[in-house]
Amino acid sequence: MALRPSKMRITPLKRMFHRLHDAAHAVAMNTRRFQTSANSSKNPTSSPPLPRQQAENPSLPSFSLIKQLQTAKPAVRYTIYAGLGLMATVETTFWFHVLRAKFFPRASREEQDQADALLDRLRDAMRGYHSVWMANYGRYYAAHVWGLGYGGLNGLESDGH
């Protein structure tokens, strides 16, 4: 006759585990509250303790634009919001004109010539960017993957741009 585990034995163990887990969580939360209140009573301008990963590796960046904006004065915050809004407006307008020139032909010949000129300038800019990016990527790959050395700015090649 084989013994089967009964639910009666397992259920109390589960309850006990959950109670221990909840108790440990409560102790950890109370400890954090105590540390925060102890730190705030000593120095009201001190920041909360750093996360464990950042404390172990101080070379990690600690800048956060969102946190900086939350603590900034309203004039600074609204100036940055206005600048971001203007940049987004310019970017949206540019891509609107590119899409309009590419997919919606103009009625007059003069407007069509302007749209074609815009697309030609965009293609030239993309070709120039691609050639510079590929040259720099090739230098990085040679220097860091194959160990050939960086070469500094003297290693830049001019391809006529």
Q: What's the pLDDT score for residue 28?
A: 54
Amino acid letter for position 55: A
Q: What's the pLDDT score for residue 57?
A: 65
3 state SS for 65-115: HHHHHHHCCHHHHHHHHHHHHHHHHHHHHHHHHHHHHHHCCCCCHHHHHHH
Domain residue spans in the chain?
A: 67-104, 107-154
Q: What's the pLDDT score for residue 66?
A: 87
pLDDT per residue of the chain (161 residues) written in tens, 0 to 9: 555 555 555 555 566 555 655 655 555 555 555 455 545 555 555 555 555 555 566 676 678 888 889 999 999 999 999 999 999 999 999 999 999 999 998 899 999 999 999 999 999 999 999 888 888 888 777 777 766 666 655 555 555 54
Q: Tokens in use for 112?
A: 């069509």
CA atoms of 81 and 65, how far apart (whole Å):
12
CA atoms of 2 and 74, how far apart (whole Å):
74
CA contacts within 13 A on the Cβ side of 82: 6
CA atoms of 47 and 52, how far apart (whole Å):
14
Q: What's the pLDDT score for residue 122?
A: 94
Instruction: Say what the pTM is.
Output: 0.46
